Structure 1
Amino acid sequence: MSEFRQVYFRIQVLVGLVMETIYKKVEKYPNSRGNFLS
């Protein structure tokens, strides 16, 4: 159970980093923001 929690936590951290990177890229190009959301 503890191993599963560690893996889940690592996945959460990775997803958070990826989402932050994508958000920054979308923020740089506001024209593509609508396409990204839809």
Structure 2
Amino acid sequence: MTQALIELSDLRFNWPGHPQLLDIPEFRLQSGETLFLK
């Protein structure tokens, strides 16, 4: 298996005093894959 370009696990984010906005248990982006962020 090749090494991922981006590998995330247990990524969470919220602004102080606000509910959780981002919850990504696991994410991998391999070479040659594309990703669109909005």
Higher relative CO (CA 8 A, sep ≥ 6), structure 1 or 2? 2
* Bigger proportion of residues as helix: 1
- The structure carrying a bigger strand percent of its residues is 2
Q: Which has the larger radius of gyration?
A: 1
The normalised TM-score by structure 2 is 0.20
